[in-house]
Chain A
Amino acid sequence: MKRFILTFVALAVTFGNPAIAQDETPVPVLKAPYHVPVFKNEYVTLLNVYIPPGRSTGYHIHTTQSVSVTVEPADLSDQIPGQAQPGPARHAASGGASYSDNRKQTRTHNAFNVGTTPYHLIMFLLNSDKPGGFTPSSRADVPAYVQIMDNERVRGWRLVLEPGQSAAAVTPQAPGLRVFLSEGDLAESVPGQPDRGMHPKLGEFYWQDPGLTRALHNIGTTRVEFLEFELK
């Protein structure tokens, strides 16, 4: 039954949706449908990518290094120029993080949401071709942080805190981002400052300057999960 639904939605996406013509001229990812730049600074341009069910992005071009985090899962299908039909559906899982370097080999594609749920992705493009010379922290001594990525441009960790659990203090050594994969209540403890409550939500993101030592405590009633990245 699922295959039938996916096929039906794929057909609807491919041949329907006249409000958004399937333009054949690829555009840069910064101008692609459903890819909305939220902010830009010296290091990154952050894109909030949200593709409702049945919609497609049109052809767009990736030309830089980037990190992507899936915050709402969906079934997707990709089409590349010259391909008669979109490829087979694949499932983008929540919490998946990936790094791409499209400087030498650009990527042009058209992504179709062929599932029944919205596809939500937080992506940051690295604005410079070269690393900024930062040395990210090592969090090896704080087991709550599970390293999920380490390459020439970025290091990243996943943190999962059940209600009442804490993560010992870390001090980010490089600028970066935090992306939330769930909603919950946290308190951040910074030495010399009062505890700071916060209520993050799924898909929220925050730029983080380096140098701040902070521990975290889940003060809510639900599991809190997020990813943190430090740039190199």
Chain B
Amino acid sequence: MKRPIVGFGLLACLFAPATIAQNETPVQILKAPYHLPVFKNEFVTLLNIYIPPGRNTGYHIHDRPSLSVTVEASEMVNRTFGAPQPDPVQPAQLGRINYVDYLKKIRIHSEGNVGSTAFHNVSFIFNLDQPSGFAPSSRAEVPGYVQVIDNDRVRGWRIALEPGQSVAAITQQAPGIRIFLNADDLVESVPGQPDRAMHGKLGEFYWQDPGVTRGIRNIGTTRLEFLEFELK
């Protein structure tokens, strides 16, 4: 039954909805449907990308370095600008991290959600062409942090804490972003300050300035998972 549903979704996505025409003139990613800039600072522009089932982004242009995280998965169809046909359906993977430097080669494409669930992605575009010279922390001695990416622009880690679990303190050395992959309660412990509770939710993101030393504890009842990135 899944194949007919996907097939129907694919057709719906390619030929509808009329209110959001599959524009043939590509637009910059910052103006693309379902790609919404939330904030911008000296270093990044953060995009909240949410494509409901059956919707399509239209052709848009990636031309800067960027990092994206899939926080809600679906089945997607990519179509490269100028290609006679769309690519085969690809299942998006929850938690997938994708860094691409589109300064080296721009990408013009459209994405259609042919699945039955929303596709949700949190991306940040690097505003500067070159690294800023930050040296991110090494968290190698703190086993709760699993390094998931390290390149010329960014280093990142995945943290998964079961209820009651803690991760020892690290000191963030470069500005960056935290992105939640699920929802639950945590407590941050900063030396010299009272414990600080917070409730992270799926797809939420927070800009994080460097210089803060913090340990983290899951005080909720479910597994807590998030990603942290520090810029270079």
Please give the residue numbers on chain A whose beta carbons come within 8 Å of chain B beta carbons, in ascending order.
19-21, 23, 25, 27, 31-34, 36-41, 46, 48, 50-52, 55, 58, 118, 185, 187, 193-201, 204-207, 217, 219
Contacts and interface: CB of A to CB of B under 8 A. Distances in A.
Given A19-B197, A31-B196, A39-B207, 7 more contacts: A20-B187, A31-B193, A48-B204, A52-B185, A55-B197, A55-B199, A197-B33
Contact of B19 (A37, A40, A50, A219): A219
A27 B193 contact: yes
Contacts of B48: 204, 206
Q: Pick from B37, B52, B199 the residue with the most CB of A within 10 Å.
A: B199
Contacts of A33: 195-198
B15 interface: no
Contacts of B134: none
A205 to B, nearest CB: 7
Contacts of A200: 36
B167 interface: no
A187 B187 contact: no
B46 interface: yes
A34 B198 contact: yes
Nearest to A58: B194
A199 B20 contact: no
Given A34-B199, A38-B39, A19 B19 contact: no
Nearest to A190: B31
B31 A196 contact: yes
Interface of B: 17, 19-21, 23, 25, 27, 31-34, 36-41, 46, 48, 50-52, 55, 58, 118, 185, 187, 193-199, 201, 204-207, 219
Nearest to B207: A39
Nearest to A219: B19
A196 B32 contact: yes
Contacts of A52: 185, 199
Contacts of A205: 38
B114 to A, nearest CB: 16
Contacts of A36: 198, 206
A185 B187 contact: no
A21 B45 CA distance: 37
B219 A19 contact: yes
A212 B204 CA distance: 27
A103 to B, nearest CB: 24
Contacts of B196: 31-33
B199 A219 contact: no
Contacts of A23: 194-195
Given A198-B33, A219-B17, A40 B199 contact: no
A21 B195 contact: yes
Contacts of B187: 19-20
A78 to B, nearest CB: 18
Given A34-B197, A38-B206, A195 B39 contact: no
B27 A193 contact: yes
A195 B21 contact: yes
Contact of B34 (A20, A25, A198): A198
A80 B193 CA distance: 20
A199 B194 contact: no
A19 B220 CA distance: 10
Q: Which 10 residue pairs spanning A and B have beta carbons closest together?
A: A23-B194, A39-B39, A194-B23, A197-B33, A197-B20, A33-B197, A19-B219, A20-B197, A219-B19, A39-B207
A159 B205 CA distance: 26
